[in-house]
Amino acid sequence: MQLYNYFRSSASFRVRIALQIKGLDYDYIPVHLVKGEHRDPAFVARVGDALVPMLVTDGGATLSQSMAIIEYLDESHPTPPLLPSTPMARARVRALAQMVACEIHPLNNLRVLKYLVNELKVTEDAKTAWYRHWVRSGLEAFERQLQLLSHERSAQGLPPSVLCWGDAPTLADCCLVPQIFNARRFDVDLSGLPLTLGAFDACMALPAFQQAQPSACPDHEA
């Protein structure tokens, strides 16, 4: 397999985590977003949205969009699973993952930040304030959801979650960890989020997350 990605891209980071959890070998192919390499005609010809990550499977098929890629990996390489065994638990994990991937991340990705500055002419300070506001409010909602799920698990006689759900990494953890990394880059206030940061810290104690982080990428100094 080949993974076309950028070391700071949180969507790419999600997929790297999944690949590491699954123990899957892949070729790392950097695509520098800040330098505009994703707009190269050769890359655009292979993936319609001209975004990273893009996964090329062993069979030569190209897949885009991190959530779809991760679910493909989970279905094609089911051990260890990234989604729980029951329909309700899978729905809970998907909801947590989508709180990051569909609510927080789209407002703050590179394209949006560049549009704010280049087209709407906002200042760097205003751009940073935008980023911090939406990430903070999104993570507050994530924390509330973890609190609700903790009460639900307790009522069902289940042990407290060490990670986002249970004690094994799931799709939700694959999404949360990159978002926290980026939040720290922008000095977002992360106080008062004990369950969220507890899950993050538990994830980062695991080799798969350590090996997938941006500083471990071959292009991290590019």
Q: Which range is least confidently modeled, 36-45, 78-87, 145-154?
A: 36-45
Looking at every residue in the chain, the average pLDDT score rounds to: 96
- Helices in 156-206 by DSSP H: which ranges? 171-185, 194-204
CB-based contacts of 216, cutoff 8 Å, min separation 6: 210
Q: Which one is predicted more confidently, 101 or 221?
A: 101
Per the CB < 8 A criterion, the answer to whether 200 and 176 are in contact is yes
For tokens 């980071």, name the residue: 13
**Containing H/E element for 133?**
helix 124-155
Same domain, 101 and 21: no
Same domain, 73 and 119: no
Distance separating alpha carbons of residues 29 and 53, to the nearest angstrom:
10
Type of residue found at 86: T
Residue 16, pLDDT above cutoff 90: yes
Same domain, 22 and 128: no
Q: In the structure, what pLDDT confidence band is assigned to residue 221 with cuts at 50, 70 and 90?
A: confident
**Residue 220: what pLDDT?**
85
Residue 222 forms part of a structural domain: no
Same domain, 73 and 145: no
Provide mean pLDDT across the span 183-201: 98
The CB density around residue 132, as the number of other CB atoms within 10 Å, is: 16
Same domain, 160 and 93: yes
Residue 135 forms part of a structural domain: yes
State the CATH number of the domain containing residue 55: 3.40.30.10
Strands 27-30 and 62-64: unpaired
pLDDT by residue (tens digit) across 95-117? 999 999 999 999 999 999 999 99
CB-based contacts of 95, cutoff 8 Å, min separation 6: 145
Same domain, 189 and 94: yes
Q: In the structure, what pLDDT confidence band is assigned to residue 60 with cuts at 50, 70 and 90?
A: very high
The CB density around residue 220, as the number of other CB atoms within 10 Å, is: 12
The residue segments making up the domain with residue 20 are 2-80+212-216
pLDDT by residue (tens digit) across 19-53? 999 999 999 999 999 999 999 998 999 988 999 99
Distance separating alpha carbons of residues 16 and 166, to the nearest angstrom:
21
Residue 11 forms part of a structural domain: yes
Residue 222, pLDDT above cutoff 70: no
**Residue 167: what pLDDT?**
93
Counting the structural domains of the chain, the total is 2
Provide mean pLDDT across the span 147-171: 95
Residue 124 forms part of a structural domain: yes
State the CATH number of the domain containing residue 138: 1.20.1050.10
Same domain, 106 and 196: yes
Same domain, 176 and 91: yes
Same domain, 61 and 106: no
Same domain, 196 and 111: yes
Same domain, 31 and 102: no
φ, ψ of residue 66 to 5 degrees: the values are: -60, -40
Same domain, 197 and 170: yes
